[in-house]
Amino acid sequence: MYIDGVVMGLGLANTYMDSRGQRPLYCRPKALTPENYLDILRQHIEKNRSCVEVHPFIGVEMLLLEGLVETFPCKK
């Protein structure tokens, strides 16, 4: 449930930025499941394990955002 809330917040941030003519944080496809988001988070943590070990208090929110930006970059 917590991840769903984080995803909703990031989606609202993207909508806000779009409404102001700014580039969104990430450009996700229309349909993703909660499992997709968890997979993105897990993969990002695994890929960046050394960073997570150096910064053990980095929030899951930032890790998920970084994973989404990496997975779904916006075209320039």
What does the DSSP assignment read for 32-59?
--HHHHHHHHHHHHHHTHHHHHHSTT--
76 within domain boundaries = no
Cα separation, 61 vs 48, in Å, equals 15
Cα separation, 29 vs 22, in Å, equals 19
Q: Please give the tally of structural domains in the chain.
A: 1
Q: Between 60-71 and 34-47, two packed helices, what is the crossing angle to 10 degrees?
A: 100
Cα separation, 76 vs 37, in Å, equals 24
53 within domain boundaries = yes
pTM across the whole model: 0.82
Q: Average model confidence (pLDDT) for the chain?
A: 88
The range of the structural domain enclosing residue 42 comes to 2-71
For position 64, what pLDDT does the model report?
A: 93
51 within domain boundaries = yes
**pLDDT tens digits, residue range 24-54?**
999 988 888 989 999 999 999 898 887 777 6
13 within domain boundaries = yes
